[in-house]
Amino acid sequence: MRFAPHTDEDVQAMLAACGLSSLDDLFAHIPSNLTLDGELAIPEGLSEMELVADLRRLAGRNRHLDDLVSFAGGGAYDHYVPAVVWALAGRSELYTSYTPYQPELSQGVLQALFEYQSMICELTGLEVSNASLYDGPTALVEAVHMATGATGRSRVLVSETLDHRYLETLATYGAGEHFSVETIPVKSGVTGMTAIGEDVAAVVVQHPNFFGNLDRPREVFEAARAAGARAIQVFDPLSLGILAPPGELGADIAVAEGQMLGNHLSYGGPYLGIIAARGQDLRRMPGRIVGETTDVDGTRGFVLTLQAREQHIRREKATSNICTNQTLMAVAATVYLGWLGPHGLEELGRQCMAKARYAAERISDLTAAELMWPRAEFFKEFTVRVDRPGVVQASLLDAGFLVGPMVGEDGLLVSVTERRTREEIDRLVKAFGEALS
Amino acid sequence: MTGAPVRSRGPDIASRTLRERSVPGRRAWSFPELDVPNIDVPQDHGRRSAPGLPEVAETDLVRHFTRLSQINYGVDTGFYPLGSCSMKYNPKVAEAVAALPGFQRLHPHQPEETVQGALELLWRLERALCEITGMARTTFQPPAGASGELTGLLIMRAYHTKNGDPRSKILIPDSAHGTNPASVTLSGYRAVQVPSDQRGLVDLAKLRDLVDQDTAGLMLTNPNTLGLFEEEIEGIAAAMHRVGALLYYDGANLNAIMGRVRPGDMGFDVVHMNTHKTFATPHGGGGPGAGPVAVNAKLERFLPSPVVGFDEESGRYFWDGERPDSIGRVHGFHGNFGVLVRAYAYVFGHGREGLREVGERAVLNANYLACLVSEAYPLAFPGQPMHEFVSTARRLRRHGVRAMDVAKRVIDLGFHPSTVYFPLIVEEAMMVEPTETESKDTLDAFAEAMLQVSREAVEDPHLLHEAPVTTPVRRLDEAKAARELKLHW
């Protein structure tokens, strides 16, 4: 494959215009002992046909979700992606553009991001959203930075009902010595109560939580705010057609994995990190923010704004180092939320919840399985207690079902999206029964 | 050759936001009838009022976003010479292969035995990136360049901490990208600026004065952000390594030297790459990217966990999470896998000789364009540029014209302008990176436009001050946007 359009004549003419005689002259000032002897140990290039064959071979070594029936969750979900989403987000005027540094040439991306921010505010019941971050866990890191900056404190309390990947990511970034992380124990599948001292910067609760359970954010957030800490909720955007939004639950900052908003699973990325907050923390918000303004003729237009927070202006004093974000994924999310509207979102939430309940009841009817927390309420996923969950998971895989991830030593997470039919759920239950017998 | 979005007075309905198009009762969604018993939302958890999302038909959605695409400029629209961004053509075949269900429909929690092809792809890409950079191992977790920087710095910190001396400062040239110092702060280090000398290169004497036992490392882009090769890199590396400090290579400009010079051979210990620059993965209007980080053997043990493993005996690939010295996880899953599939297509499609040719043609294009425009817009520093060059519009200031005015007028002539006002150390900077995928014809036409603008700056500066006049909106009031904040509808 070659995409440089130069003919040999072009090369000669261009070199001559620069007063050079060979391409090597362009590199003559590089010390010769630094240049590579010979060629890179990489195979020779391929034609497009050969390349496609190679990638088809690799893709063919994977079992994908058109083949397996997915009841897998734990932060990424097989929700339906309507055809319109990527027909629009995939328009190349959008996807081949750079960060909108010249707004007159970038109104498409800027307006789409403004609409994205608006929809996130509507969903969360909070006042400000940025134009996206990398993914859910890194969005939580940024939220914690906002909280430590706002409170001048460095202790962070995290409920153990939080997805462990979020906790691990927080711990990695905490090594920069900006904060320390302590956990609040689980009680009956939800966040246990704990004393929140006046030295706590942030309290983090996931709701619905990692186990699938509806947690108790109102009480915890009330206690957090009484102690002067920032209340941070990790949420599921597709739950917000039916569940109370973070703003109403008392969250100061809300973060989420945005994959489920019209983005493909793609083995873990690219997804998008959602972050929204109350107005009080606007100037601590990381990343790009789009604002509405007018041009010299008074026509409405959109620009990147509040850039004095950002790394290219503030350098070592910036609120974050983020530069590239996940704009295209945010555009896809905007199309998707436009497709759903308020009533589609509600219907989707209702279907997920009803199907998850149906699956949970049928599975708990099996003699060898029970729900880990039988009295807990849940949204679209729940935890089943089984002996040797790894063996059960493998056996279900043999039957064509993807479930998980595992929860501790004896738990298996089961997720049910709107895509799953009653017939598929019934088959899963049957396979569960066989796996446990 | 160009097709910048143009001002058109369509019906008012066309410029509405999605919310302004909303009509209660209209809808695009459809779901099957619920085939299990319906249940009520637990009372104290329910939402009281529906979120204020727009209610539109699918036609409305399609018209709306199609119009938004039409008022946006991408590489597919025309020449996009943003310096430091490597806005090269994004191969369509990379999009096609990334959309194969065997990649796009993989769940990140799938067991290893069901994703052998994905792991093999990552393993092969890792070997290639290590070869290109002269490093030992690579992590794919960082989803962008800045994330790669922070990952690299945390690795450096872990290395020094393991040696019993975490140290406190990182040196950064004054020409560096803003993410460098911002990442340094987040990693718990203090950024110390190293001045550039008369040539626009790191001032080696001053660097030697700044380096001490408390220096954890240096972050450097080479070629640097002025597009110049740091010819004294060996002296720089020696000065750092002498005190036990490490060298970080910011891969923003790797495109220039691919297949010709390797960061590892220059003495660098850690390297991040920007796949959306060097390996042509589409930047999506600001993201996604991917920022793989490669390290040499002495830093391998600190890489984020897990890394891809390969068992030669069984021919099986796996996630290797047994890494006690790892800095931990820096991304929720395995990084931006979908982007990495595109990078793989680019690297293996080009192959060893193709990648070397990429660098050569990129440098040729930048030098050629510099020759065409540098009389009107002098180079900020005299050295021979690599894949990009930095000019200054300083001379036009006496006509009341700024670099931004030049950029806006270039838009009216049908091109995306260069980066302006970066690097910060150059007055009225214009940073031009044509990339290798542009033809001589395009460069000639762009140079002609730049020269026309320089003449207009003298003869009719009004044209520049008024520009752009051909775009869907004209110059926007950024001060008003920041003052009268309107961040959602």
Question: Residue B1: pLDDT band by 50, 70, 90 thresholds?
Answer: very low
Are A185 and A213 in contact, with CB atoms under 8 Å apart?
no
Are A306 and A282 in contact, with CB atoms under 8 Å apart?
yes
Distance, CA of A254 to CA of A221 (rounded, Å): 12
User: Are A128 and B261 within 8 A, CB to CB?
Assistant: no
**DSSP-derived secondary structure letter, B15:** G
Question: Chain A residues with CB inside 8 Å of B354's CB?
Answer: 1-2, 45
What CATH number did the domain enclosing B360 receive? 3.90.1150.10
Q: Which of A62, A119, A350 lies closest to B117 in CB terms?
A: A62
Given strand A381-385, what is the order of strands in its sheet? A370-371, A381-385, A411-415, A406-407
- Note the pLDDT tens digit of each residue in B55-66: 999 999 999 999
Among residues 124-153 of chain B, which lie with CB inside 8 Å of chain A?
Answer: 128, 131-132, 143-147, 149-150
Residues B338 and B326 in one domain: yes
DSSP states along B206-220: HHHHH--TTEEEEEE
Residues B345 and B443 in one domain: no
Q: Kindly report the nearest CA distance between residue A69 and chain B, in angstroms.
A: 11
Domain boundary among B316, B350, B384: B350
Element (H, E) at B356: helix B337-373
Residues B265 and B408 in one domain: no
Which amino acid is it at B417? P
Task: Report if residue B265 sits inside a domain.
Answer: yes
Residues B335 and B380 in one domain: no
Antiparallel, parallel or unpaired: β A190-191 and A186-187: antiparallel
Count of structural domains, chain B: 2
Task: Report if residue B305 sits inside a domain.
Answer: yes
User: Are A96 and B116 within 8 A, CB to CB?
Assistant: no
CATH number assigned to the domain with residue range A69-80+344-436, chosen from the 4 options 3.40.50.150, 3.40.640.10, 2.60.40.10, 3.90.1150.10: 3.90.1150.10
How big is the A-B interface in CB pairs under 8 Å? 686
Are B418 and B428 in contact, with CB atoms under 8 Å apart?
no
Are A277 and A285 in contact, with CB atoms under 8 Å apart?
yes
Question: Chain B residues with CB inside 8 Å of A171's CB?
Answer: 328
Q: Which of B346, B29, B281, B312 is nearest to A266 (CA)?
A: B281
Q: What is the dihedral of CA B67, B70, B72, B78, to 10 degrees?
A: 170
Task: Report if residue B381 sits inside a domain.
Answer: yes
Residues B287 and B221 in one domain: yes
Whether the pLDDT of residue B227 is over 90: the answer is: yes
Question: Chain B residues with CB inside 8 Å of A334's CB?
Answer: 18
Q: Kindly report the nearest CA distance between residue A104 and chain B, in angstroms.
A: 6
Task: Report if residue B464 sits inside a domain.
Answer: yes
Question: Residue B4: pLDDT band by 50, 70, 90 thresholds?
Answer: low
Distance, CA of B485 to CA of B473 (rounded, Å): 19
Which amino acid is it at B18? L
Q: What integer is the mean pLDDT of B371-392? A: 96
- Mean of per-residue pLDDT scores for chain A: 96
Could you give the 3-state DSSP secondary structure of residue A31? coil
Using CA coordinates, name the residue in chain B closest to A330: B287
Task: Report if residue B122 sits inside a domain.
Answer: yes
Token pair belonging to B196: 């550039």
ipTM of the complex: 0.97
Distance, CA of A85 to CA of A87 (rounded, Å): 6
Token pair belonging to B255: 């495109």
Rounded alpha-carbon distances, angstroms, from residue A241 to A259, A352, B38, B384, B466:
17, 11, 15, 59, 47
Question: Chain A residues with CB inside 8 Å of B415's CB?
Answer: none
User: Are A59 and B147 within 8 A, CB to CB?
Assistant: no
Q: Which of B153, B106, B158 is nearest to B338 (CA)?
A: B106
Flag whether residue A240 sits within 8 Å of chain B, measured between CB atoms.
yes
Whether the pLDDT of residue B8 is over 70: the answer is: no
Are B384 and A29 in contact, with CB atoms under 8 Å apart?
yes
Token pair belonging to B203: 């001032």
Neighbours of B188 (CB within 10 A): 18
Q: What is the dihedral of CA B235, B238, B240, B242, to 10 degrees?
A: -140
Flag whether residue B193 sits within 8 Å of chain A, measured between CB atoms.
no
Flag whether residue B269 sits within 8 Å of chain A, measured between CB atoms.
no
Distance, CA of A24 to CA of B343 (rounded, Å): 27
Q: Which of B64, B93, B118 lies closest to A62 in CB terms?
A: B118
- pLDDT at position A314, please? 86
User: Are B327 and A172 within 8 A, CB to CB?
Assistant: yes
B249 — alpha (psi -120 to 50), left (phi > 0) or beta? beta
Using a pLDDT cut of 90, give the percent of chain B over it. Answer: 96
Domain with CATH 3.40.640.10 in chain A: 83-334
Q: Could you tell me the sign of the dihedral formed by the alpha carbons of B394, B397, B399, B402, in that order?
A: positive
- Look up the CATH architecture of domain A83-334: 3-Layer(aba) Sandwich (3.40)
User: Are B101 and A61 within 8 A, CB to CB?
Assistant: no
Are A55 and A1 in contact, with CB atoms under 8 Å apart?
no
Token pair belonging to B259: 């297949």
Task: Report if residue B486 sits inside a domain.
Answer: no
Flag whether residue B382 sits within 8 Å of chain A, measured between CB atoms.
no
| Angle made by CA atoms A142, A148, A151, in degrees to the nearest 5 | 135
Question: Chain A residues with CB inside 8 Å of B356's CB?
Answer: 39-40
Distance, CA of A115 to CA of A128 (rounded, Å): 12
- Tell me the residue length of chain A: 437
Task: pLDDT tens for chain A, 437 residues: list them.
Answer: 999 999 999 999 999 999 999 999 999 999 999 999 899 999 999 999 999 999 999 999 999 999 999 999 999 999 999 999 999 999 999 999 999 999 999 999 999 999 999 999 999 999 999 999 999 999 999 999 999 999 999 999 999 999 999 999 999 988 777 799 999 999 999 999 889 999 999 999 999 999 999 999 999 999 999 999 999 999 999 999 999 999 999 999 999 999 999 999 999 999 999 999 999 999 999 999 999 999 999 999 999 999 888 888 888 888 889 899 999 999 999 999 999 999 999 999 999 999 999 999 999 999 889 999 999 999 999 999 999 999 999 999 999 999 999 999 999 999 999 999 999 999 999 999 999 88
The domain in which residue B100 lies consists of 93-350
Using CA coordinates, name the residue in chain A closest to B362: A4
Whether the pLDDT of residue B2 is over 60: the answer is: no
Q: What is the CA radius of gyration of chain A?
A: 25
Domain with CATH 3.90.1150.10 in chain A: 69-80+344-436
Q: Which of A5, A54, A393 lies closest to B439 in CB terms?
A: A5
Task: Report if residue B8 sits inside a domain.
Answer: no
Flag whether residue A399 sits within 8 Å of chain B, measured between CB atoms.
no
Q: Which of B87, B111, B131 lies closest to A42 in CB terms?
A: B131
- Note the pLDDT tens digit of each residue in B111-127: 999 999 999 999 999 99
Distance, CA of B351 to CA of B433 (rounded, Å): 23
Domain boundary among B302, B327, B350: B350
Question: Chain B residues with CB inside 8 Å of A78's CB?
Answer: 107
- pLDDT at position A312, please? 83
Residues B360 and B326 in one domain: no
Neighbours of A409 (CB within 10 A): 9
- Note the pLDDT tens digit of each residue in A380-409: 999 999 999 999 999 999 999 999 999 999
Domain boundary among B350, B366, B382: B350
Are B475 and A104 in contact, with CB atoms under 8 Å apart?
yes
What b/e sequence results for B218-243 when a residue is b if at least 16 CB atoms lie within 10 Å of its CB, and e otherwise?
Answer: bbbbbbbbbbbbbbbbeebbebbeee
Q: Which residue has the tokens 């606007």?
A: A282
Among residues 217-236 of chain A, which lie with CB inside 8 Å of chain B?
Answer: none
Distance, CA of B360 to CA of B354 (rounded, Å): 10
Please, what is the end-to-end C-alpha distance for chain A in angstroms?
Answer: 55
Q: Which of A26, A22, A13, A98 is nearest to B441 (CA)?
A: A13
pTM of the complete model: 0.97
Best of B38, B40, B109, B480 to mutate (most A CBs within 10 Å, chain A): B109
Are A40 and B350 in contact, with CB atoms under 8 Å apart?
no
User: Are B339 and A270 within 8 A, CB to CB?
Assistant: yes
- pLDDT at position B45, please? 95
Q: What integer is the mean pLDDT of B71-79? A: 97
Flag whether residue A169 sits within 8 Å of chain B, measured between CB atoms.
yes
Flag whether residue B405 sits within 8 Å of chain A, measured between CB atoms.
no
Q: Which of B183, B332, B337 lies closest to A321 in CB terms?
A: B183
Residues B329 and B393 in one domain: no
Residues B381 and B346 in one domain: no
User: Are A320 and B182 within 8 A, CB to CB?
Assistant: yes
Please, what is the end-to-end C-alpha distance for chain B in angstroms?
Answer: 37
What CATH number did the domain enclosing B178 receive? 3.40.640.10
User: Are B184 and A94 within 8 A, CB to CB?
Assistant: no
**DSSP-derived secondary structure letter, B470:** S
Which amino acid is it at B317? Y
Are B276 and A324 in contact, with CB atoms under 8 Å apart?
yes
Residues B203 and B301 in one domain: yes
Distance, CA of B403 to CA of B419 (rounded, Å): 10
Which amino acid is it at A227? A
- pLDDT at position B256, please? 97
Q: Which of A27, A288, A345 lies closest to B53 in CB terms?
A: A345
Q: Kindly report the nearest CA distance between residue A368 and chain B, in angstroms.
A: 24
Question: Chain B residues with CB inside 8 Å of A288's CB?
Answer: 286
Where would I find the H helices in A78-233? 83-89, 92-95, 107-124, 136-151, 164-174, 217-226
Using CA coordinates, name the residue in chain B closest to A99: B286
Flag whether residue B235 sits within 8 Å of chain A, measured between CB atoms.
no
Flag whether residue B459 sits within 8 Å of chain A, measured between CB atoms.
no
Best of A323, A347, A393, A402 to mutate (most B CBs within 10 Å, chain B): A323
- Note the pLDDT tens digit of each residue in A241-267: 999 999 999 999 999 999 999 999 999
| Angle made by CA atoms B347, B354, B99, in degrees to the nearest 5 | 35
DSSP states along B52-119: ------HHHHHHHHHHHHHTB--TTTS---BTTS------HHHHHHHTSHHHHT--TT--GGGBHHHH
Q: Which residue has the tokens 């294009």?
A: B365
Among residues 336-365 of chain B, which lie with CB inside 8 Å of chain A?
Answer: 336-339, 341, 344-345, 347-358, 360-361, 363-365
B204 — alpha (psi -120 to 50), left (phi > 0) or beta? alpha
Return all residues near A373 (Cβ < 8 A) that are at least 6 apart: A188, A189, A211, A213, A383
Best of A46, A62, A81, A415 to mutate (most B CBs within 10 Å, chain B): A62
Token pair belonging to A363: 């599975």
Q: Which residue has the tokens 């279900």?
A: A396
Residues B308 and B255 in one domain: yes
User: Are A169 and B85 within 8 A, CB to CB?
Assistant: no
Could you give the 3-state DSSP secondary structure of residue A273? strand
Flag whether residue A143 sits within 8 Å of chain B, measured between CB atoms.
no
Flag whether residue A48 sits within 8 Å of chain B, measured between CB atoms.
yes
- pLDDT at position A127, please? 98
Best of A96, A215, A320, A398 to mutate (most B CBs within 10 Å, chain B): A96
Give burial (CB, 10 Å; 0-12/13-18/19+) of A21: exposed
Among residues 254-313 of chain A, which lie with CB inside 8 Å of chain B?
Answer: 257, 264-271, 282, 288-297, 299-303, 305-306, 308, 310-313
Given strand B270-273, what is the order of strands in its sheet? B137-139, B293-295, B270-273, B246-251, B215-220, B169-173, B190-194
User: Are B349 and A117 within 8 A, CB to CB?
Assistant: no
Distance, CA of A377 to CA of B200 (rounded, Å): 63
Given strand A230-235, what is the order of strands in its sheet? A128-129, A273-277, A253-257, A230-235, A200-206, A155-159, A180-184
Helix A164-174 to helix B145-162 angle, to the nearest 10 degrees? 70
- pLDDT at position B7, please? 66
- Note the pLDDT tens digit of each residue in B361-376: 999 999 999 999 999 9
Flag whether residue B38 sits within 8 Å of chain A, measured between CB atoms.
yes
- Note the pLDDT tens digit of each residue in B231-249: 999 999 999 999 999 999 9
